[in-house]
Structure 1
């Protein structure tokens, strides 16, 4: 990479589609940016998502584990710690469970959009890349546990139709591909 992410706006929240986590981490290193990665595959609800982000981003112990506190930790707290060179943030496998529905996913991404705006006002690059988890039910009996279905944290190959249903974004793109 001669100029990593040269075609990606400096303050944006977007799908990870065209990138791999490894490429984003290398770009962050080359650009001298902070790289923050959270794998949310095991999360099923808002509290799980916030717990995993707090743990994997190593947020301070004072983190209130709500969306307002997430915003504060990623903006004011970091800003007060000194000059920042930039951020590449990854939210991988955002859950698509009934307990973390489309509204909750949009709210989470809106928080990161607000964070990107905050850093944009300070002329600091903040790029956030995300993906959604497409969970499938497996029989507990297959796992030797129970007869109740459980969600797995594995991504599966899905058709464009399934992607249209799992992603609230760019439905027109997927409709034209079908």
Structure 2
């Protein structure tokens, strides 16, 4: 089987782009790496994001209440649990709302960049791929019927085509795709 990650640096945090979750999971199995997946579409707050990432069954069990604890769980706790062959992490649908703003998203990605550096120093591959959930305007038909849009109605999966755009928050693109 051809390794879909042959052109991806071994310790990096990047947009998922042309990769699919299925391909990344297959690559993890082929390479003998741990595959960690978190679908964050239901998350609204920083604590929701931490809880969803930290509950992964391939991570050591311990209380995780903040980004520092999450960092420790992904570094020291895993390092102490035994030899590691590598990691492929997917953070899908990182929220883009008022309770998880741009600063919180950058903090989250910085944690994973620091974790990638930690494992790089130990010569262990750590690749993290992410995508954002993007808010969209409610459909006109829903507004005419007087229905209040649900939170899930406001989320759009960011496709690989959209992630290749120079600006993932190009409102004209999202409104025309609705």
User: Under TM normalisation by the shorter chain, which class is it?
Assistant: 0.7 to 0.9
Partner SS for 2:157: coil
2:18 alignment partner in structure 1: 18
Partner SS for 2:68: helix
* Alpha-carbon distance, 1:21 to partner: 0.1
1:8 alignment partner in structure 2: 8
Aligned runs of 1:22-61 on 2, under 5 Å?
22-57=22-57, 59-61=59-61
Q: Output the CA distance in 1 between the equivalents of 2:66 and 2:169.
A: 29
Per-residue CA deviation, residues 98-121 of structure 1 (Å, 9 max, x unaligned), is 110100000000000000000000
Per-residue CA deviation, residues 21-71 of structure 1 (Å, 9 max, x unaligned), is 000000000000000000000111101111111223554442232100000
1:38/1:57 contact within 8 Å kept = no
Unmatched segments (≥5 aa) in structure 2 = 172-178
**CA distance 1:81–1:101, shift in 2 (3 Å):** same
Task: Please say if 1:90 is aligned against 2:90.
Answer: yes
Q: Output the CA distance in 1 between the equivalents of 2:16 and 2:120.
A: 20
Q: Which moved more, 1:76-85 or 1:48-57?
A: 48-57
Q: Output the CA distance in 1 between the equivalents of 2:85 and 2:166.
A: 40
TM-score norm. by structure 2 comes to: 0.80
Q: Output the CA distance in 2 between the equivalents of 1:114 and 1:57.
A: 22
Partner SS for 2:9: coil
2:50/2:64 contact within 8 Å kept = no
Q: Output the CA distance in 1 between the equivalents of 2:117 and 2:149.
A: 41
Calculate the aligned-residue CA RMSD, in Å: 2.5
Q: Output the CA distance in 2 between the equivalents of 1:156 and 1:103.
A: 20
Task: Please say if 1:163 is aligned against 2:165.
Answer: no
2:94/2:133 contact within 8 Å kept = yes
1:135/1:154 contact within 8 Å kept = yes
Per-residue CA deviation, residues 149-170 of structure 1 (Å, 9 max, x unaligned), is 432144277975972358xxxx
**CA distance 1:165–1:101, shift in 2 (3 Å):** farther
Partner SS for 1:7: coil
TM-score norm. by structure 1 comes to: 0.80
